[in-house]
Amino acid sequence: MKNTVFTKFHEEAGARMIPFAGFNMPVEYAGINEEHLAVRQGIGVFDVSHMGEFWVSGPSALGYLQYITSNDVSALWDGKVQYACFPNGRGGIVDDLLIYRFSQDKYLLVVNAANVEKDWTWCVKNAEKFGIEPGRDLINASDDIAQLAIQGPLAMKAMQKLTASHVMEMENYFFRIIEFAGIKDVIFSTTGYTGEPGCEVYVRNEEAPKLWNAVFEAGREFGIRPVGLGARDTLRLEMGFCLYGHDIDDTTSPIEAGLGWITKFAPGKDFIDKEFLLRQKEEGVNRRLKGFVMIDRGIPRQHYEVVDAEGKIIGEVTSGTMSPMLKQGIGLAYLQKGYWKPETEIFIRIRNKDLKAKVVNLPFYNK
């Protein structure tokens, strides 16, 4: 089991630690609901150093990324971030990821912690036809980079104290290379997984303790607190964000998952599964990932069956929780055609009882 460079800080803060994606990670400190509310109303900090980072560079970098990812990488410009996925050649998804453009010939891919080795193997497998050489043009820097996500309505106000760069004026999904907390060459990105304003900050491992201490000192007056994986999950689910291994995987297509918006059939873009996904887009699919809220009292969980009024199975829950903000059970599920419209009545089979729910538009939570 690996530790991140912040593990000692989690232990000192009294975190309950669990194994996650091969790492020893904090699941909660004071409690999931309390930490969830801190991010929605103030400022919370997540250790996301377990995420993977791959550098892609060279004159073939753009063509390579256009081929292995679903989104239109040519639409990026320097300092812009893009959400995308790796189609797997069988209609499913290898992983979802962020793409950072540093220049036309240099990009950073940020991938899920549980998929680092799988993603690296996939990227290497598809590199040769573009003359991309692992170790030279394709570099796995996952073990060298530490990352904190600072999220919440007060996050950017607090972080502005740590840099002369005007980060509060940055729009969502952009990044800059700045001096931050006295650390040079920090990647400061206005991205996150909570639906709240905030940033994700990348530094070299040796700078991590300095970053942690500075961030918490800057946020002290705003009630900053560390947040674990438990609240990270409830926060992302309230926004309807997909989690790999739950809502998307090697058997789900981006069209089925409602990720058509990151699947771009741009002129000149030839990418893995292009014909298959275009056919799904034009002809439609038989199942779609949809949000639902519980009407009867109950908490939906992954793999629970979804049934109609007659008890016929019409789908399966992929993620579910009790929403800390709505005080109501919420979830995502793949549903058969005919059950996709908002307000459609469905039932979640929980402990052999069919509990009433209804389909809703995402996100579940709006301020």
pLDDT digits (tens, 9 = 90+) for 117-147: 999 999 999 999 999 999 999 999 999 999 9
The reported pTM is: 0.98
For residue 307, what are the CA distances in angstroms to 58, 135, 289, 310, 355?
51, 50, 15, 8, 9
Output the average pLDDT for the chain.
Answer: 98
pLDDT at 110 over 90: yes
CATH number of 7-50+144-238: 3.30.1360.120
Under the banding of pLDDT at 50, 70 and 90, the label for residue 14 is very high
Which segments of the chain belong to CATH 3.30.1360.120?
Answer: 7-50+144-238
CA distance 325 to 335: 25
The predicted-structure confidence for 80-91, as pLDDT tens digits, reads as follows 999 999 999 999
> Is-contact 354 306, C-beta < 8 A?
no
CATH number of 286-360: 2.40.30.110
Across the range 264-292, mean pLDDT stands at 98
> Is-contact 260 81, C-beta < 8 A?
no
pLDDT at 367 over 90: no
Tally of helices (H runs) and strands (E runs) in the chain? 8, 19
Which segments of the chain belong to CATH 2.40.30.110?
Answer: 286-360
Name the percent of the chain in helix, strand, coil, to the closest 5.
25, 35, 40
> Is-contact 166 143, C-beta < 8 A?
no
Instruction: Tally the residues of the chain.
Output: 367
CA distance 287 to 317: 12
CA distance 119 to 252: 17
* Count of C-beta atoms within a 10 Å radius of residue 340: 13
